[in-house]
Structure 1
Amino acid sequence: MYPPSRKDFISLTLSDAHSHSYNNGKHRRQSCWRKWKQLSRLQRSLILLLLARYSYLDCSPIQASHRSGKLKSRLLRQGHMWGQLWIQILLWWSPKDQTYLFFLNLPLSWRGAMIQADQASEPPPSANGKEAAAPQAPADSADPLPLDGRTEARLEAVRDAFRHAWKGYKDYAWGHDELKPISRTFGEWFGLGLTIIDSLDTMWILGLREEFAEARDWVEKELSFDKNVDVNLFETTIRVLGGLLSTYNLTGDQLFLDKAKDIGARLMPAFKTPSKIPFSDVNIGKGTAHPPRWTSDSTLAEVTSIQLEFRELSRLTQDPQYQEVVNEVMKLVHKLPGKHDGLVPMFINTNSGQFTHKGVFTLGARADSYYEYLLKQWIQGGKTEDDLLEDYLQAVEGVKKHLVRQTGSGRLTFVGELSHTRFNPKMDHLVCFLPGTLALGAHNGLPGDHMDLAVQLMETCHQMYKQMETGLSPEIAHFNLQASDGQDIFVKPADRHNLLRPETVESLFYMYRFTKDTKYRDWGWDILESFNNHTKVPGGGYTSINNVRDIENPGPRDKMESFFLGETLKYFYLLFSDDMELLNLDKYVFNTEAHAFPIWPSPPK
């Protein structure tokens, strides 16, 4: 029995900071009450003040309504500021015995509140029996970085966001393609459970083993491609084939490779065209393919942004047919007339194999990932395919020559569009993939001015968020080339929606990995907070919104795209992670849906 004066307190034993084994040595025991009594009156007063401050922040009604968005953001920032001061108090209290590590290891939600024990991350793969391990760091890797309280809080915030999105999907849309979180129902596109497949590798990377096990069980027991349904070749390749291949590479689980082989074989009829340029749509049950109902054209992005996935399928299956058909497409496009200093038109005809709608050049929708995949195929193949590198370098020079401009007031650099020699100062949010791609190229030995342009464009993409009332970017921004009114960015009413897209966060991830400039992490954190403030739906899920300029009523669109879990949240997690071996960019290349494939070793010279 404890003496009466101490009956409400117990001793707490803490293990050594660098060991997870239990240590019951007497010299390690510390009574919380004794530690408290050893503090000076000033120290105790400061701690009590901080606790009171946290209690106020946690109990405040900022969660009650989206209409308090500005107040909420301010309080959240204050909460994190006080959180850092609290950590400093803990360091001051116990720098020698590292008692503070106990407190820093308590996971935090994005609001700064403590997470319950059953909400914490699952155990590492080794604790789950036969479960395959994620990629291991090389033997000569450095010692683990010391735990950073803010870093762990941000990582846990991403896990929280994923859990919330997953809860909505599981409760109201399980097995279907997409969640409609407002109406609490589902949307169907191909009937392939897109959200599950797109999210598999994200769950693995985030360490969400329970959710991953649920998804794997569905893939094993419910996922069937033997159905009479037309699917889009491009979307199915990047989301389904890409998701399955990436998950196989991360886990080593044969189930995912078997499913990838099944869907890959069912997509092959799309390539049976007179020109070898694939049709856009294929019936995976009947084995037939066709162009869209309204045209015989395919978009350039659709036919040139499936190569990473089919090449990887050939590598894993040792069946060359998949790589051969997509390599043939790239060879044809490489030789085609109609380019403009490396820039390509948006459409290509599946009968003639020629460009159509010539004279229109953009890095936005229908063309964007062509440029991305030129570089990434070159990297994936061990930097041996010179035609891909040549086309990429010419395209970057064409972008700089014809599409890059600066605003008249703030000198923001942006990438516009060209329509028959007429320049349009319009940039899709999709174009915000470009800073990351340019940085990736520079990292792989391409000209240094690519990185200079990446830095400038990254600032512009950041401003597309920062200058909006909700802190979220519109789908399309227009830029002011004049210096008269001081406004750099304006948004037309039809372009004010936000679809939870990943491109800016993706580029922030690349920029931080290559520069270690923490401002890119801070910009990403601001975006995550804005998603939580304006798109998070009570009960589960996140929704796209209609108006990023209306903080009072952003107008939910009732749709959560699969790429929010497959790309956006994954790139947030990688941005905030200190583990540079987690999908090391010298070992992996990402497809345009954020699914990672190993870089092939270069052949000996």
Structure 2
Amino acid sequence: MLRALGAAAAAGGMVATTVGTASARGRWGPVADAVREEHLWAWRHYIERAWGADHIKPISGGREDFFVEGHSVGLSLVEAVDTLWLMEADSEVDRAVRWIVDHLDFDIDAPFQVFETNIRMVGGLAAAYHCTGDRRLLERAVDVADRLLPAFTRSPTGLPYRYVNLATGEVSGPETNIVEVGTYLAEFGVLSRWTGDQRYYDLAKQAMRVVHDKRSELDLLPHDIHAETGEWRNRRATVGPPGDSYYEYLWDGYRLFDDPELRQWYDTLTDAILAKQAERHAGLLWFPQVDAFTGEVLSREQSVLAGFYAGLLAESGHVAEGRAYHDAFTAVQDRFGVIPTSVDYTTMTATRVENALRPEYADSALALWLATGHEVFRERARTHFENMVATSKTRHGFAALADVTATPPSQGDTCPGYWWSEQMKYYWLLFSDTPRLDYRDHYLSTEANLLRGAKR
């Protein structure tokens, strides 16, 4: 999401006034120090036990592939570079960049998920380039993006296939969803800007156009679609997965590239969501899943991933609704300590009890703090951080939780790559007032990759 102090204020919010003040640094500096210490402690374990692997297994100290078994591409270290840079851990940035330059090779004869490869690898490398200025990182980002392009160019509709073989360009997986066809514009757009090659932006935007133009008469979007026929595969509309980042990238595309058409699409869909999906239960604002063609409520389960929407609403001028939605997830955090993957908000019971180190609540806390300047969002994020350390820290890193309702919460032997990019960066930016970020004008992607606002 695009983070800009003053942007929300212009749309009806308040400008944060605490960034950079001595009193704020004095109060939050120790929390920032703790965030950095935990991040670098985990990083040292990754170096010692899983260097170059996609993931470390934090309980056993083993290694884990993410995209394709037997083909790690250094996912965790690519995701970590801009976070380390923002933390001024420059020797570790240099270490990671050396590995990327010396060892990262995308000529892999295997199918990679296009969406995940884009937000994680294209975005991670682009952010590393933006922070360091090392053009070798931009070359790697362009290389992998070019290997993803057949997913778009070989589709009869312009909606990308889910998978592409990085060595051969063979595509597969036409049964897809609006997230996996519509979350490219930020990463592809900055590549177009930095290289002068407009193909990236045009292909990403065209896929978003196809989805928008197929909206229902209620201006709502089902989430499943077929890349070859362009036909909907279901009727269910949601702001959670797999609908979430499509809406995010409409707003982000408008703010990053000053594209008014994207703003029009975003406003049309957001007005419909607020009018036809939002409801209050026990005084809290929620967004149930509804039939996109009739508006009938289909489910009142809420995914932890939907928590991002509170921040998106605030950034796009709907500050009151964004705060109200964050209040709802705060009630869940207060109840469970760590937010489960999904809850039935009518009973406040967990319907999926795991939590894979999810960052969306902290993401929205950052967005709302920037939009309003209210310290309550830092307080909420500190609780989120402290609860993560208390429940997920283990022998060699931080572990996803298998059951947040157990006493103590039970852990699983995995640490997702986004942990290095997302919530640790959100915490750091909330508490550190780092001089390396332009707090007034910067951009974090859906994976929290910093693509604008690095102060070198």
SS in structure 1 opposite 2:167? coil
1:202 to 57, 73, 83: 83
CA distance in 2, matches of 1:287, 1:172: 33
- 1:307 corresponds to which residue? 185
- 2:57 corresponds to which residue? 180
CA distance in 2, matches of 1:581, 1:160: 18
CA distance in 1, matches of 2:199, 2:175: 24
Alpha-carbon deviations, 1:486-532, whole Å to 9, x = none? Answer: xx51113xx01111111110000011112111111111111111111
- 2:341 corresponds to which residue? 475
User: By how many angstroms is 1:207 displaced?
Assistant: 1.1
- 1:428 corresponds to which residue? 303
Structure 1 position 322 matched with structure 2 position 200 = yes
The structure showing larger relative contact order (alpha-carbon pairs under 8 Å, at least 6 residues apart) is 2
1:158 to 24, 27, 35: 35
Contact kept? 2:86, 2:436, Cα under 8 Å: no
Contact kept? 1:340, 1:398, Cα under 8 Å: no
User: By how many angstroms is 1:345 displaced?
Assistant: 1.0
CA distance in 2, matches of 1:574, 1:472: 21
User: By how many angstroms is 1:581 displaced?
Assistant: 7.4
Structure 1 position 236 matched with structure 2 position 117 = yes
Distance 1:583 1:478, change over 3 A: farther
1:245 to 126, 137, 140: 126
Contact kept? 2:178, 2:211, Cα under 8 Å: no
Structure 1 position 541 matched with structure 2 position 394 = no
Structure 1 position 297 matched with structure 2 position 165 = no
Listed as ranges, the gaps of 5+ residues in structure 1 are: 1-141, 443-449, 481-487, 600-605
CA distance in 2, matches of 1:545, 1:330: 34
User: By how many angstroms is 1:173 displaced?
Assistant: 1.5
Which residue identity does 1:576 align to in structure 2? Answer: F
- 1:29 corresponds to which residue? none
SS in structure 2 opposite 1:179? strand
Contact kept? 2:240, 2:305, Cα under 8 Å: yes
- 1:570 corresponds to which residue? 425
- 1:598 corresponds to which residue? 452
CA distance in 2, matches of 1:578, 1:182: 32
User: By how many angstroms is 1:264 displaced?
Assistant: 1.1
CA distance in 2, matches of 1:577, 1:262: 34
- 1:395 corresponds to which residue? 269
Distance 1:195 1:402, change over 3 A: same
- Identity, in percent, stands at 27
Structure 1 position 376 matched with structure 2 position 242 = no
Larger Rg: 1
Which residue identity does 1:489 align to in structure 2? Answer: M
Which residue identity does 1:590 align to in structure 2? Answer: L
User: By how many angstroms is 1:150 displaced?
Assistant: 3.0
TM-score by length of 2: 0.90
CA distance in 2, matches of 1:340, 1:536: 48
SS in structure 1 opposite 2:96? helix
- 1:491 corresponds to which residue? 350
Alpha-carbon deviations, 1:99-130, whole Å to 9, x = none? Answer: xxxxxxxxxxxxxxxxxxxxxxxxxxxxxxxx
CA distance in 2, matches of 1:414, 1:144: 34
Which residue identity does 2:432 align to in structure 1? Answer: S
Which residue identity does 2:190 align to in structure 1? Answer: E
User: By how many angstroms is 1:366 displaced?
Assistant: 1.1
CA distance in 2, matches of 1:402, 1:514: 25
CA distance in 2, matches of 1:150, 1:317: 43
SS in structure 1 opposite 2:314? helix
SS in structure 1 opposite 2:394? coil
Which piece of structure 1 moves more, 159-168 or 239-248? Answer: 159-168
User: By how many angstroms is 1:373 displaced?
Assistant: 0.8
- 1:27 corresponds to which residue? none
User: By how many angstroms is 1:579 displaced?
Assistant: 5.0
Aligned length: 428
Which residue identity does 2:155 align to in structure 1? Answer: T
CA RMSD of aligned residues (A): 2.0
- 1:457 corresponds to which residue? 325
SS in structure 1 opposite 2:149? helix
Alpha-carbon deviations, 1:362-417, whole Å to 9, x = none? Answer: 111111111111111111112x322x222211222222222222223xx1211111
Which piece of structure 1 moves more, 415-424 or 428-437? Answer: 415-424
- 2:93 corresponds to which residue? 212
Distance 1:580 1:489, change over 3 A: farther
Which residue identity does 2:322 align to in structure 1? Answer: A
Contact kept? 1:248, 1:256, Cα under 8 Å: yes
Listed as ranges, the gaps of 5+ residues in structure 2 are: 1-17
Distance 1:559 1:143, change over 3 A: closer
User: By how many angstroms is 1:584 displaced?
Assistant: 2.8
1:278 to 157, 160, 173: 160
